Structure 1
Amino acid sequence: MSTSPFDLSGKTAVVTGAGRGLGQGVARGLADAGADLILVGLPGSQDESAKQIADLGRQVQVVDLDVSDHDAVARVGADLVTGGQIDILVNNAGIIEREDTVDLGADSWNRVIDINLTGLFLLTQALGRPMVERGAGKIVSIASLLAFQGGIRVISYTAAKHGVAGITKALANEWGPLGVQVNAIAPGYMATDNTAPLRADADRAQAILERIPAGRWGTPEDIAGAAVFLSSPAADYVNGHVLVVDGGWMAR
């Protein structure tokens, strides 16, 4: 029997948007630590991640959900909580849309907010309710450096990620006394699809790398360790924290 405070054996974790990038890396990290996984995301997007989790010897279930469909979020949330105990929720699903603010349309704004903020809140509410009732649970949301900064041409994303940080702190105040830890991770510049336009811009990519003390873009594996920590007993006294994993970007 493991005595490691990072051991997640016997725990069940839900990860949204686990089909690629950070979500896939987090799901693998949780599985490596012993957790069984429920992968929640767009239809057909998570088959490869499910195979990787199964290959690690963990139980894995795939649930189709478009997080922007709030009625569907409510239905899936209800199904998940009646299907068995969920110990960990990692809110990773999100999108980014880059556009000059003067040209930003309401549809684009709503799309980003619906997925990154409102859908996140509704699923957290649904899965958090039984955690509060039994007095135990871990909720980890993926925020961003843009929970602290303004960014460029990503005003809807920035607003949403500031909101994620606010939700994290508000729920920590409300649910912390009831035994549920609510935290977030703020990734720095990661080599994922979201940053492909930045990495394709040689001047912008160089300027970014010059500011990162680690001298490289982050990887999903860099986020996985933070997610395991915040999901584990090692973080039982960590609540309402937004953990920056950025290679030192915020120190500059």
Structure 2
Amino acid sequence: MNLVDQFNTDFFRLDGKVAIITGGASGLGQYYSKALIKSGAKVMIASRSDKGVSELEAFAQKNGPEVGFISRDVAAENAAKDIVAATIKKFGQLDILINNAGIQIRNKWHEFEDEDWQRVIDVNLTAAYHLAHEAALVMAKSGGGKIINIGSMQSYRAGKFIFPYTASKHGVMGLTKAYADALASENIQVNALAPGYIDTPMTKILQEDQERNTEILNHIPDGHWADPSELMGAIVFLASPASNYITGVTLPVDGGYLLR
């Protein structure tokens, strides 16, 4: 289909769409939420804590779309069903899922506990699997949708102090490809976003390590840690009709880090 005559910046708009964003009230998730809100989407935030929710509600009031909140540990039993059901109850539809909730535990290889491994895998990978499944059941009935998983530079690389995190983010890339293949016939595009080295509380330990910070900066062609706002355009693109023929892709937003 030739859409040249119809194409305009509205292809990047999300007016009338409803999104779930796990962990969407704090950290990078807050920027994803604000990006979608500014693009016209209503957003359901799913998080263990209500930290940052009031700020997002005020932001939404200023910018138009409505925000909802459900308090859930995404790794808890039946959490995916509860989150999707709450979204449908409040907004009546579901068009976009952003699997953002994630945790990281750092340790030396011989000091990792089994429970540390299991907790990271449960939150970062297993919860994403279940949420994608529940969201896809709704999207398939309504004619399509977008699922965006959040990967990492550790989707591509090793991480000798973050074994479970690295394994989970490699898994996110594989999960993205598998769901993309399985759901293409349902008009559901499944992609992932892989943030590079972003200036967030999670990365402070690296930024404050002078040797490691210098090593990272020397590895980034753009030469700086990204501001979280630099991810906003990419998340909107993957959530919007502008990316309708893109599926199964993990998009690095890394200032060129993976080039070196």
Category of TM-score, reference length = shorter chain:
over 0.9
Alignment match of 2:85 (pick from 69, 78, 81): 78
Residue 153 of structure 1: how far off its partner (Å): 0.5
Q: Distance in 2 between matches of 1:118 and 1:74?
A: 14
Q: Which residue of 2 aligns with 1:177?
A: 185
Residue 190 of structure 2 aligns to a residue whose secondary structure is strand
Matched ranges for 1:161-176 at <5 A: 161-176=169-184
Q: CA RMSD in A?
A: 1.4
Q: Which residue of 1 aligns with 2:47?
A: 41
Residue 38 of structure 1 aligns to a residue whose secondary structure is strand
Unaligned runs of 5+ in 2: 1-7
The reply to whether residue 216 of structure 1 matches residue 233 of structure 2 is no
Matched ranges for 1:83-232 at <5 A: 83=90, 84-232=92-240
Given residue 76 of structure 2, which amino acid in structure 1 is its aligned partner?
Answer: D
| Bigger relative CO (Cα 8 Å, ≥ 6 apart) | 1
Residue 239 of structure 1: how far off its partner (Å): 0.3
Residue 51 of structure 1: how far off its partner (Å): 2.3
Residue 11 of structure 1: how far off its partner (Å): 0.7
The reply to whether residue 241 of structure 1 matches residue 249 of structure 2 is yes
User: How many aligned residue pairs are there?
Assistant: 251
Residue 82 of structure 1: how far off its partner (Å): 4.7
TM-score by length of 1: 0.95
Given residue 26 of structure 2, which amino acid in structure 1 is its aligned partner?
Answer: R
Q: Distance in 2 between matches of 1:89 and 1:113?
A: 19
Aligned-residue identity in percent: 39
Q: Distance in 2 between matches of 1:53 and 1:205?
A: 36
Residue 250 of structure 1 aligns to a residue whose secondary structure is helix
Q: Distance in 2 between matches of 1:53 and 1:251?
A: 37
Q: Distance in 2 between matches of 1:248 and 1:10?
A: 34
Q: Is the 8 A contact 1:70 1:122 kept in 2?
A: no
Q: Distance in 2 between matches of 1:170 and 1:25?
A: 27
Residue 39 of structure 1: how far off its partner (Å): 1.1
Residue 11 of structure 2 aligns to a residue whose secondary structure is coil
Residue 198 of structure 1: how far off its partner (Å): 0.6
Given residue 63 of structure 2, which amino acid in structure 1 is its aligned partner?
Answer: L
Q: Is the 8 A contact 1:175 1:181 kept in 2?
A: yes
